[in-house]
Amino acid sequence: MSELTDLYQEVVLDHGKRPRNYGPLPGETQRAEGLNPLCGDHLLIHVRQAGGRVEEIRFEGSGCAISKASASVMTGVVKGRTAAEIDQLFERFHRLVTEGARPEDQEALGKLAVFAGVHDYPTRVKCASLAWHALREALRGGGAPVSTE
């Protein structure tokens, strides 16, 4: 049986409590909302794109430790990437939180690897994915709220 500390690793707890890149983003070019109807989590992702890459990204909102930590870590790792690169990274991330860690993905995932424990908690996969769904919606230029349902 997995331990609670596999899910709530120190890094996750730290990002959940003191999220990085938190707040509004002056000069944003895109934004999208993420809603998790299961628990009422609500994130707003602000993006400033330049030259086809994410130049700056911030987020706001309320949520559980997992959704906030995921948004916080995500905003750190996607800077400088294109939408296509972010889609690829999300695919690996989604595999990580649904199936667990795979050696071949570790390098690409980098800091995101701290969410490996989520796969033992199927009800929390949506929390970990919420920020990603909102970001990808923002990059598609949608702006409509995305829901995990």
Partner 1 sequence: MTTHALEQPQAPARPAARREPAVEAYDVERIRAEFPILSQRIHGHPLVYLDNAATTQKPRAVIDAVRRYYEEDNANVHRGVHLLSERATRAYEGARVKVARFLGAADPREVIFVRGTTEGINLVAQTFGRQRVGAGDEVLVTALEHHSNIVPWQLLCQEKGATLRVVPITDAGDLDLDALDALLGPRTRLLAVAQVSNALGTVNPVAELVARAHARGVTVLVDGAQGAPHLGFDVQASGADFYAFSGHKLYGPTGIGVLWGRRELLEAMPPWQGGGDMILSVTFEKTTFNDLPYKLEAGTPHISGAVGLGAALDWVAGVGLEAVAAHERALVARAVDALGQVPGIRLVGTPRERAGALSFLLGDVHPHDVGTVLDRQGVAVRAGHHCAQPLMKRYGVAATVRASFAAYNTAAEIEALVRGLHKVREVFG
**Interface ranges with partner 1 (CB under 8 A):** 1, 4-5, 7-8, 13, 38-42, 62-66, 121, 123-124, 127
Contacts of 85 (CB under 8 A, 6+ apart): none
Percentages helix, strand, coil for the chain, rounded to the nearest 5?
50, 20, 25
Tokens linked to 32: 């999208």
- Of 3 and 107, CB closest to partner 1: 3
- Of 6 and 87, CB closest to partner 1: 6
- Of 38 and 84, CB closest to partner 1: 38
Dist. CA 35–CA 148, nearest whole Å: 7
